[in-house]
Amino acid sequence: MTLMHKHTLKTAQLIAAGVAAMLALSGCSAGGSIQPEAGAKQVKGGTVSYGHQQEPACVFGGWIEQAYLSYQVLDNLVSLDDNHTIVPWLAETWQASDDQLTWTFTLKEGVSFTDGTPVNAEAIAYNFDYWAAGGNSTAAVWLGGYYESAEALDELTVQVNLAKPYPLFAENLTQAYFGIQSKQALETRTEEENCASPIGSGAFTVGEWNRGENIELLRNDDYTSPPANARHDGAAYVEKVDWKFISDATTRVSALRAGEADAIYDVPAIEWAGIGEQGYDQLKYVTPGRPQQISFNTARGIFTDENLRKAFVYSLDRESIVDTIGKGVIPYEGNGAVSRTTPGYSEKAADAYSFDLEKANQLLDAAGWTERDDDGYRVKDGKRLDVLFPYSGGTIINADGASILQGVQQQAKAAGFNVDLIPIPPSAAASGKYSGVDGYDISVGYWTSVNAGIQYINWRQNLPESPNNWNSAFYNDPQLEDIIVRANSAADLDEQNALYAEAQEYIADRALSVGLYDRLSTLAVNPHLKDVWQESAQGGPVFHDAYFVE
Amino acid sequence: MTGVLERTVAPVQRRRRVRVGFLASAVTIGVFLAAAVTPHVLAPSDPFTMDFTRALQSPSLAHWFGTDESGRDLFSRVIYGARESLAIGVGAAGLGVLVALVLGSIAALAGRILAGIVNRVIEVLFAFPTLLLALLLVSILGSSPLTLVIAVGLGSAPGYARMVRGQILSSKNSGYVEAARALGHARFTIFRRHILPNALRPLIAIFTMGVGQSIVWASGMAFIGLGVAPPSPEWGALLDAGRAYITQASWLIVLPGFVIVVLALAATTLGKHIQSSLEKGDA
């Protein structure tokens, strides 16, 4: 073989390898239909390989990624069904006193935690105190201002005492942040042990956790306490869930197509239609609560001026950006306070602002930002109209969201805003960089919730005697807080929704926060895996009812 | 007969191939430099202007490299990205050579203890993975072009430093340095006039090749999210942004990747030609 031939062969091999790599990357496969044959029968056991986006620090905690995991392991007192009705889980019945200050839960009999200890009233009361003391950060903020104490009246009856009436109390308990853990485990095991493998009474237990790779969830063979909205009683059908962490969306989709994953979470908008055409089952849940929204720092900087906030909002054609990037999968959301799937949603607040560049320019001119520099950015008294806009890339904001934010940056430029868009890596976010009143001019993010009571968390005043770190606009207004508190305590549903809507419109009128898009929880599932569903409180995947067919 | 003819023609062909290679790489580098200096002349549109009606269009006469998810013209973004990418490449290679020169000189000329310490430092740096160093720097300094320059520059320095040390050691023991010493020249003068120029000469070629290599490294780091933030058209950032669309719009990653390969190839070819010319000069 001549040198030239050798060279040509080597080049050809390289090209072939490159093409093969490209094909592998693009997920092309020579396989036929992925649909199971008609009449395919249920297979016993098996391992579900599930590709999830983010890996939390603990199985249990105050972040939704933790809630999705802990839902598999811990049972709640109550569950939320598809009709937004609260149904029994560990609690068979519950009742609020006439003044809504005392809630009594009666538990199922004979339920045990996986460490053998009983799920009794004492354990439930202990969990309430544990949450309120910060054992779960999100549970703590939900209970804050309302929870007073919990006591076991007898083996199976627990009473929770509230400081203020809260008719939505039981509904809030359907979120996985309120997953019940073994009292013995919380008392005797280290924080690290409970973080890595909390002991609950759920359908699965935590097996091995290979950090950076996967968590094995093992079937609890003695499971007796599924929620009333589960599709079957008893233990899970599958033996194991291999909960893999695949942060890159393209890799997740490729894993599904290659058959390495039976189900994946957070399907990119651009892949959604193709995945459906290929025959994969698709589940989409528009998360209620605070949508992906931008809130303005009202305590420092240019956005202390309401007109500048409004100018910024008018400069954006948010719907157009979201529709293009979201490919019809990600819904546009105009409301900054709550998303469209939240009870008590206000259309009026959602429609408060539409794209109007002329109006944006008028407001900026009126505020004295009349000059422009060579790059087209507005200048006043020698100072440029700079906007510091950090966002948590890859965690709070996924790839689609990052593209939407670039659209915001570009459109605001036309009005003369110089938006400094800074993706914050998880390490910097964890260290608190770009947080606090000096950390940003605009913040972006969501907060899932089952109801509009989330406004209490996001807008309650941040006062020295009652700090609220979750008020990202740093907006302290007793009038707004009063509307929300009255809504939370309103016994009549119509009155409650009207007050929640009033709060949303109050927020929109002052341009404190505006919506961008609704946060989604999407799943794509191989049709050989049946009965994976999304729970209704937060949209997490449920594998207790899942089974394979062959 | 044929064998004689082949032997006669081969050197001519080789020289012609050499000239073609040199010219092609020089022209390629020239085009990229022009793009970096006057991108507005070469780019058909603004690299940041979004046109949602033209999102994700495949390459065509109107958009040579297609458009991205926001309808931005990819060819214009590649052209405008040349400045930042080249600046990172030149900066990182320059920093690498500079650090190498300092470390290599000390390792070759200092006393036994200091030289020993610097040699160990070079070895430790050599064994330290560049990616790990980059991660460390990004977590301390935040991701930015400067961080990339520092990470890639420091990552490449140990290799160059060994080369500089070897070059200085061989110059230090050469006849002309002996002669300069015999003539009573000061140590610093000998270093400046005789040793440094000889050590620097191969570094010119190394630097040219290093530019291409640094761009590839920096792009690789940007690809995994350790580089310049979007919407910058820096080439690695383009690769990173295109990754999400690889199955539906492969041009977003293939074409910027191709451009990086072409530049790296041109810089390496040019560097090799410079190296070969310098070696001939030595001979």
Provide DSSP, A416-461. Answer: T-EEEEEEEPHHHHHTTTT-STTS-SEEEEEEE-SSTTHHHHHHS-
Contact assignment for B243 to A250 by CB distance below 8 Å: yes
B27 touches chain A (CB under 8 A): no
Q: Which residue of A has its CA nearest to B69?
A: A325
What percent of chain B lies above the pLDDT cut of 90?
40
Q: Identify which of A22, A270, A428 has the shortest CB distance to residue B248.
A: A270
A→B interface, C-beta within 8 Å: 22, 25-27, 248-250, 253-254, 268, 270-271, 274, 320-321, 323-325, 393-394, 399-400, 402-403, 406-407, 409-411, 413, 421-423, 425, 427-428
CA distance B267 to A534: 54
CA–CA distance from A187 to each of A126, A356, B78, B185 (Å)?
10, 58, 59, 80
Amino acid at A410: Q
Say what the pLDDT of residue B11 is.
60
CA distance A148 to A132: 9
The winner for highest mean pLDDT among A86-95, B18-27, B42-51 is A86-95
Residue B67 is encoded by which pair of tokens?
């458009």
Question: For position B87, which CATH number holds?
Answer: 1.10.3720.10
Q: Identify which of A250, A393, A410 has the shortest CB distance to residue B246.
A: A250
Say what the pLDDT of residue B44 is.
95
The position carrying tokens 């580089």 is B227
Per-residue model confidence as pLDDT tens for chain A (550 residues) = 333 344 433 444 444 444 444 444 444 443 456 888 888 899 999 999 999 999 999 999 999 999 999 999 999 999 999 999 999 999 999 999 999 999 999 999 999 999 999 999 999 999 999 999 999 999 999 999 999 999 999 999 999 999 999 999 999 999 999 999 999 999 999 999 999 999 999 999 999 999 999 999 999 999 999 999 999 999 999 999 999 999 989 999 999 999 999 999 999 999 999 999 999 999 999 999 999 999 999 999 999 999 999 999 999 999 999 999 999 999 999 999 999 999 999 999 999 999 999 999 999 999 999 999 999 999 999 999 999 999 998 788 988 999 999 999 999 999 999 999 998 877 677 777 788 899 999 999 999 999 999 999 999 999 888 889 899 999 999 999 999 999 999 999 999 999 999 999 999 999 999 999 999 999 999 999 999 999 999 999 999 999 999 8
Q: Helices B235-243 and B251-282 sit at what angle, rounded to 10 degrees? A: 150
Q: How far is B50 from chain A (nearest CA, A)?
A: 7
Q: How many CB pairs under 8 A join A and B?
A: 76
CA distance A373 to A214: 51
Model-level pTM? 0.84
Say what the pLDDT of residue B17 is.
66
Best mutation target, B50, B57, B144, to test chain A (most A CBs within 10 A) = B50
Beta strand segments in A26-114, E = 42-43, 47-52, 78-80, 86-88, 91-96, 102-107
H helix intervals, A100-259: 121-130, 137-143, 169-172, 183-188, 191-196, 249-257
Contact assignment for B70 to A26 by CB distance below 8 Å: no
Q: Which residue of B has its CA nearest to A318?
A: B52
Contact assignment for B225 to A421 by CB distance below 8 Å: no
Model ipTM value: 0.76
Best mutation target, A322, A324, A375, A388, to test chain B (most B CBs within 10 A) = A324
Residues whose CB is less than 8 angstroms from the CB of residue B196 and which lie 6 or more positions away in sequence, other chains included = B105
Best mutation target, B51, B67, B226, B248, to test chain A (most A CBs within 10 A) = B248
Is it the case that residue B13 has pLDDT exceeding 50? yes
Domain span holding position B173: 2-51+59-282
B229 touches chain A (CB under 8 A): yes
Best mutation target, B247, B253, B254, B255, to test chain A (most A CBs within 10 A) = B247
Q: Kindly list the residues from chain B whose CB atom is less than 8 angstroms away from the CB atom of residue A278.
A: none
Q: Identify which of B230, B231, B245 has the shortest CB distance to residue A270.
A: B245
Comparing A29 with B246, the larger pLDDT belongs to B246
| CB-count exposure of residue B13 (10 Å: 0-12, 13-18, 19+) | exposed
Say what the pLDDT of residue A22 is.
45
Per-residue pLDDT tens for B118-144? Answer: 999 888 888 888 778 777 887 777 778
Say what the pLDDT of residue A435 is.
85
Contact assignment for B70 to A407 by CB distance below 8 Å: yes
Say what the pLDDT of residue A31 is.
43
Provide DSSP, A346-389. Answer: -HHHHTS----HHHHHHHHHHTT--EE-TTS-EEETTEE-EEEE
Q: Kindly list the residues from chain A whose CB atom is less than 8 angstroms away from the CB atom of residue B56.
A: 270
CA distance A26 to B273: 38
Number of folded domains that form chain B: 1
Q: Identify which of B50, B244, B248 has the shortest CB distance to residue A407.
A: B50
Give yes or no for a contact between B243 and A248, defined as CB atoms under 8 angstroms apart: yes
Q: Kindly list the residues from chain A whose CB atom is less than 8 angstroms away from the CB atom of residue B243.
A: 248, 250
Say what the pLDDT of residue B281 is.
59
Count of positions (residues) in chain B = 283
Which among B262, B218, B220, B212 is positioned nearest to B243, based on CA atoms? B220
